[in-house]
Amino acid sequence: MNELACDRFLMSAALMMNFDGLDPGMGEYAPALHGSLEPGMEPSMDPRLNPVLLQGVELNPDGLTVAVAESVHMMEGMFSELHSVHAEVGVPVTATHFDLQEELLWMGNHRGHGMSFFGPTMVRYSSFQANSTDDIRQIQSMETGVLFLSKSNLKCQTRGGLVMFDYLMEEGADMHSLLMTENNTMLMGGLQNYVLEFDLNTVQQTQKFTVEAPGVAIMRQSNRFLFCGNTSGKVSLCDLRTFKLEHEFDAFSGSLSDFDVHGNLLAACGFSSRGMNELACDRFLMVFDLRMMRAVTPLQVHVDPFFLRFIPTYTSRLAIISQTGQCQFCEPTGLANLADVFHVNTVGQLLMSFDVSSSKQALAFGDSGGGVHLWSDAPEVSYNGYSRETEFALPCLVDSLPQLDWSHDLLPLSLIPMPFTSSEPLLSDWVTTQATPSPRRAPPVDPEILRTMKTVGFIGYAPNPRTRPRNQVRQSSTNSVSQIQCLRKSWVLNYAWLV
């Protein structure tokens, strides 16, 4: 009884409500919101709906709402893997280098083998042995060739593999880095108490600078200083001409892993001592101001830094690489964002080398399994601003020639194609003092012809005895057969020499 009374009370209250002042259109049927219910009506958006309040939807030309997915913001200049190859499976890639003159990517491995790849597709261009005993520690390209630095050897080879010079270091040398300077000279340093200045024109050592232990493992250069990093965690600033020590930064208490210089900033990564002769990778990058000669606020990153390079494009970005394949990009004076961490697909291998192209458009990684990974921020990548054209070898003509059976005595020599050589002599074109003409002897005349021959003046006539087939001559001796075989061999030599 009470429930029935409540229902009647609510119904009467609803009938007694005052609707004065309300917009009558609010109670009208809005066909635009129910287009599927009345297909005959033209769809249109209700004028009382505010389009600004429609979040996560788009309006088609007819005014109907269309659901869309969340938009993904793509950062300009974002790097991703473009291509990867395996040079030698299982052999660590200890050095990578972008050629400064051509569109080539160089690599050197633990067995002293050098290899180059052309373009973004990484087509193999050349492959040769740069060192037979030691690993390749650094590669540097020049105008005329490529330098390969190993523990106790500096070798210069053409881009095709021909040796230009091979310089052997002093006994006990342990070279790790080289740096090109002006006037076609270079510096070489390592884990010894000296740095060598080397003249590439004369292929000789010009000066020998003494440094403190434990030597120089990494070298960089700017307009003002020569930067030398050692394994004790210090970075020394030296004069460009005299190699005199000007300033020194004590970056890490353990060891220095890598550093780079751009403008007035020096950024370094390394290891810190944690007691009991233990080293731990420091996730704080040390950043130094070269104007004030002091450290600024360290930059904390989300990876274990092992390699470090500046990538100055629109901003002075830093690329921080860990040995496990993690890559992070951040500003040297800003905060590192976890969203800027990417991963190089090394399939469980460790990264052993890293380099940046001169155009700052490409990154190269070499891992411990023999893989070389090319990253880029553009599909049409260019390693240099103005690269010269790369010369490729001519295609081999031997593969397109037919197979010839040289055991056949009647095989015509005209089947061997001979190129036109008006300016170059053939291999068989000997001088008259070293060759003797050996014409083929004419076969003797049949005695039956001589017996029946009649002479009229100086011309002899005789009937055909029909003892030989028409247009055929029998080989009368083995000497003639050997002469034909020698002639064929000379043709083969000529053809092989020209090809």
Tokens of 204: 């000789």
Pairing of strands 255-262, 245-250: unpaired
Please give the residue that has the higher pLDDT: either 437 or 94. 94
Question: In this model, does residue 51 exceed pLDDT 50?
Answer: no
Pairing of strands 279-281, 294-295: unpaired
Reported as a single tens digit per residue, the pLDDT across 337-383 is 776 788 999 888 999 999 999 999 999 999 999 999 999 988 889 99
| Helix (H), strand (E), coil (C) string for 190-258 | ECCCEEEEEECCCCEEEEEEECCCCCCCEEEECCCCEEEECCCCEEEEECCCCCCEEEEEECCCCEEEE
Domains of the chain, start order:
80-376 (2.130.10.10)
- What is the average pLDDT score of the chain? 80
Please give the residue that has the higher pLDDT: either 434 or 201. 201
Q: How confident is the model at residue 172 (pLDDT cuts 50, 70, 90)?
A: confident
Please give the residue that has the higher pLDDT: either 102 or 87. 102
Give CA–CA dist 468/466, Å, rounded: 6
What is the arithmetic mean of pLDDT over 298-312?
92
Cα 307 to its chain centre, rounded Å, is 18
Give CA–CA dist 204/222, Å, rounded: 25
Per the rule left: phi > 0, alpha: psi between -120 and 50, beta: everything else, 182 is beta
Question: In this model, does residue 474 exceed pLDDT 80?
Answer: no
What is the arithmetic mean of pLDDT over 389-394?
86
Q: How confident is the model at residue 413 (pLDDT cuts 50, 70, 90)?
A: confident
Smallest CA-to-CA distance from 318 within 297, 346, 340, 293 is with: 340
What is the arithmetic mean of pLDDT over 451-475?
85
Strand, coil or helix: 163: strand
Cis peptide bond upstream of 447, omega within 30:
no
Question: In this model, does residue 20 exceed pLDDT 60?
Answer: no
Query: Is the pTM higher than 0.75?
Result: no
